[in-house]
Amino acid sequence: MRWVISEADDDAPASPARETVVWWGCELRAPPASAASPRGPGVWELHYDAHPDAGFDAEVRAVRLTAPGLLEDPGEGAVLRWRREGCAGDGLDDSADFDAEDEEPADPNVVHVAEPVADAAGTVSVNEMLTAQREVDARKNGGRSLEEHGMDAFATMPMERQQKMASAFAGLKDGLSRAFAELQERNGPDYAITSEDIAEIMQKMRR
């Protein structure tokens, strides 16, 4: 994890604090699912190593992975950079004045899509996907939903193409609805549809 440590100069108290970039070792773990430690959408535990030189003990922080190379620490109210161990020298900016907001410049022609983080079993719920996308819409898409942006783009197409796409989408929706209903009928209402199920359904529909 990339942290900027500020240190005051005892010999010159009026001088600005010195800032040092520190890449701090830690391990990302799925939190225990229990009443005492409820897990919110996309929340993980970050287990920091002790850092005796900086005067910090080992500790655990609740975080959300928000984008490749970035995570949010709600307790600190900060967005932080991370990299895998051994990936130094990959072009990441180690300057102390790095601003996470500069990582992905705003572009009115770009619509951002959420990347919800799977749990330890590789599962992402529909609710987590929707929650993650709402957060991205509020933070990066001007408060407008992914659906609204899509409808705007759809409206710019020629009418003939709109009709063909609408017809194709309706067919896809009906086919998926029937396939999902069949899966639940065979396996029960609480059955969790897997990626393998989706792959098999799409293969059959393409035929």
pLDDT, one tens digit per residue, over 52-73 is: 887 788 999 888 877 667 788 8
State which residues form the domain around 122.
Answer: 107-156
Q: Give the span between the Cα atoms of 43 and 31, in whole angstroms.
A: 8
Question: Any idea of the CA torsion for 38, 144, 118, 76, to the nearest 10 degrees?
Answer: -50
pLDDT at 35 over 70: no
pLDDT of residue 14: 59
139 and 174, same domain (yes or no): no
Q: Does residue 146 fall inside a structural domain?
A: yes
126 and 149, same domain (yes or no): yes
Residues 6+ apart with CB under 8 A from 134: 145
Q: Does residue 97 fall inside a structural domain?
A: no
The domain tally of the chain equals 3
pLDDT of residue 94: 52
Q: Give the span between the Cα atoms of 189 and 192, in whole angstroms.
A: 9
12 and 49, same domain (yes or no): yes
Could you tell me the pTM of the whole model?
0.41
Contacts for 174-178: CB closer than 8 Å, 24+ residues apart: 175/201, 175/205, 176/201
Do the Cβ atoms of 71 and 80 come closer than 8 Å? yes
Q: Does residue 98 fall inside a structural domain?
A: no
Do the Cβ atoms of 115 and 67 come closer than 8 Å? yes
